[in-house]
Structure 1
Amino acid sequence: MFKKILKKVMVAILSIIGVLVLLYLLFTNYYPSFGGDISKEQQKIYQLSENYKDGKFKNINDVPKDMSLPQTLSLAYKFFTTKVPNGRPKIDLKPQHIDASNITNYKGKTRLIWFGHSTFLLQIKGKNILIDPMFGKVAAPHPLLGSKRFNEESPIDIDKLPSIDAVLFSHDHYDHLDYESVLKIKEKTQHFYTPLGVGVHLQAWGVPKEKITEMDWWQETVLDDIKLVCAPAQHFSGRKMNNGQSTLWSSWVISSTTDNIYFSGDSGYAEHFKEIGEKYGPFDLALMECGQYNQQWSDIHMMPEETAQAGVDVRAKKMMPIHWAGFKLALHEWTDPIVRVKAKAKELNLNVISPEIGQEIIVKDTVNNYTDWWKNF
Structure 2
Amino acid sequence: MITTLIIIGLLVITYFAFTNFYPSFGGDVSKKQKAVYAKSEQFRDGKFNNTNPVPKDLSFTETMKLVYAFFTTKVPNGRPKEDLKAVKIDSTTIANYTGQARMVWFGHSSFLLQIDGKTILLDPMFSKVAAPLDILGGNRFNKEFPLEIAKLPEIDAVIFSHDHYDHLDYKSILKIKDKTKHFYVPLGLSTHLKAWNVPSHKITELDWWQNTEFKGLNLVCTPAQHFSGRKMNNGQSTLWSSWVIQSKTENIYFSGDSGYANHFKEIGEKYGPFDLALMECGQYNEKWSDIHMMPEETAQAGIDVKANKIMPIHWAGFKLALHEWTDPIKRVTKKAKELNLEVITPRIGEQIMVKDSTNTYTDWWIGL
Q: Give me the TM-score of the superposition, normalised by structure 2.
A: 0.99
Q: In structure 2, how many angstroms separate the alpha carbons of the residues matched to 1:33 and 1:236?
A: 19
- Residue 346 of structure 1 aligns with which residue? 337
- Residue from 197, 200, 216 that aligns with 1:225: 216
- Residue from 169, 180, 187 that aligns with 2:178: 187
1:16 Cα deviation (Å)?
Answer: 2.2
Contact 2:101 2:115 in 1 (8 A): yes
Q: In structure 1, how many angstroms separate the alpha carbons of the residues matched to 2:136 and 2:13?
A: 18
Deviations 1:310-339 (A, max 9, x none): 000000000000000000000000000000
The answer to whether residue 152 in structure 2 is matched with residue 161 in structure 1 is yes
Q: CA RMSD in A?
A: 0.7
The answer to whether residue 11 in structure 2 is matched with residue 20 in structure 1 is yes
Secondary structure of 1:144 counterpart = helix
- Residue 287 of structure 2 aligns with which residue? 296
- Deviation beyond 4 Å, 4+ runs, structure 1: none
- Residue 247 of structure 2 aligns with which residue? 256
1:27 Cα deviation (Å)?
Answer: 1.2
1:38 Cα deviation (Å)?
Answer: 0.4
- Residue from 76, 89, 93 that aligns with 1:85: 76
- Residue 192 of structure 2 aligns with which residue? 201
For structure 2, which runs of at least 5 residues remain unmatched after alignment? Answer: none
- Residue 210 of structure 1 aligns with which residue? 201
1:295 Cα deviation (Å)?
Answer: 0.2
- Residue from 71, 86, 98 that aligns with 2:89: 98
Secondary structure of 1:43 counterpart = helix
> Whose radius of gyration is greater, 1 or 2?
1
Q: In structure 2, how many angstroms separate the alpha carbons of the residues matched to 1:197 and 1:376?
A: 42
- Residue 337 of structure 1 aligns with which residue? 328
- Residue 238 of structure 2 aligns with which residue? 247
- Residue from 260, 265, 268 that aligns with 1:269: 260
Q: Give me the TM-score of the superposition, normalised by structure 1.
A: 0.97
Q: In structure 2, how many angstroms separate the alpha carbons of the residues matched to 1:307 and 1:121?
A: 22
Q: In structure 1, how many angstroms separate the alpha carbons of the residues matched to 2:10 and 2:39?
A: 40
Secondary structure of 2:179 counterpart = coil
- Residue 5 of structure 1 aligns with which residue? none
Q: In structure 2, how many angstroms separate the alpha carbons of the residues matched to 1:122 and 1:245?
A: 29
Secondary structure of 2:334 counterpart = helix
The answer to whether residue 104 in structure 2 is matched with residue 113 in structure 1 is yes
- Residue 136 of structure 1 aligns with which residue? 127
- Residue 74 of structure 1 aligns with which residue? 65
The answer to whether residue 45 in structure 2 is matched with residue 61 in structure 1 is no
Q: In structure 2, how many angstroms separate the alpha carbons of the residues matched to 1:15 and 1:83?
A: 36
Q: In structure 1, how many angstroms separate the alpha carbons of the residues matched to 2:219 and 2:49?
A: 22
Contact 2:96 2:117 in 1 (8 A): no
| AA matched with 2:279 | M
Percent of aligned positions that are identical? 71
